Chains A and B, each alone.
Chain A
Amino acid sequence: DSGVTQTPKHLITATGQRVTLRCSPRSGDLSVYWYQQSLDQGLQFLIQYYNGEERAKGNILERFSAQQFPDLHSELNLSSLELGDSALYFCASSGAGGVLSEAFFGQGTRLTVV
């Protein structure tokens, strides 16, 4: 158990819809990262938050947005969903804002857009 909790584990929705994925980081971790993993693909970095502030942005679509709340949990909002958005979405957390820190991953949310 990594200590990172993601909900829901599975999500099936229709094209054009909007969904929210939730992540609770490990206790004490200030950094939260979101990654997208498509079938047999690598981990595409989407966005990072540190202590409530956006820290870094990757290849995140304009239809996607995220935020980190005062209690440090984070949400990833995906809107106007397309079939190609079907993927495994991982949240990871780490203790420090800098690079010298291992990331702990949640179990992921498997999104299927039909």
Chain B
Amino acid sequence: GQQVMQIPQYQHVQEGEDFTTYCNSSTTLSNIQWYKQRPGGHPVFLIQLVKSGEVKKQKRLTFQFGEAKKNSSLHITATQTTDVGTYFCAGPGGSQGNLIFGKGTKLSVKP
């Protein structure tokens, strides 16, 4: 079935450093979503990308969807301790609308 691969699994950064997580699919995705899960919390929707080559920004977060719609990335500029958590990408699992999540990238930020 549809799978989205996400790397790295863990990332430890010093506060102020940048962070990037990557998501890859073997098949073309109609769209991709990104979620953040804080420690002890539940996943919270961040953004959805639909168009080939799309780039969206939310303050220090930049989301990209590849030209072939098979990969995506989330880049955080100048990380802060509030960025700590696990970031998941999610793509459609089929034509029925279910969401398949990558394994996530767990970000820790050292003050």
Q: Are B43 and A43 touching (Cβ within 8 A)?
A: yes
| Residues of B contacting A107 in the complex (Cβ-Cβ under 8 angstroms) | 42
Q: Are B30 and A41 touching (Cβ within 8 A)?
A: no
Q: Are A99 and B92 touching (Cβ within 8 A)?
A: yes
- A42-B88, A99-B92, A102-B33 known; A31-B97 Cβ under 8 A: yes
| Residues of B contacting A102 in the complex (Cβ-Cβ under 8 angstroms) | 33, 45, 48
- A42-B102, A45-B98 known; A56-B93 Cβ under 8 A: yes
CB proximity of B98 to chain A, nearest CB, Å: 4
Q: How many A residues face the partner with a CB closer than 8 A? A: 30
Spot the interface stretch: A20-28, A62-70, A71-79, A90-98. Answer: A90-98
B35-62 to A contact mask, C-beta < 8 Å, 1/0:
1000000111100101000000000000
B74-111 to A contact mask, C-beta < 8 Å, 1/0:
00000000000000101011101111111110100000
Binding site for A on B (CB under 8 A): 1, 30-31, 33, 35, 42-45, 48, 50, 88, 90, 92-94, 96-104, 106
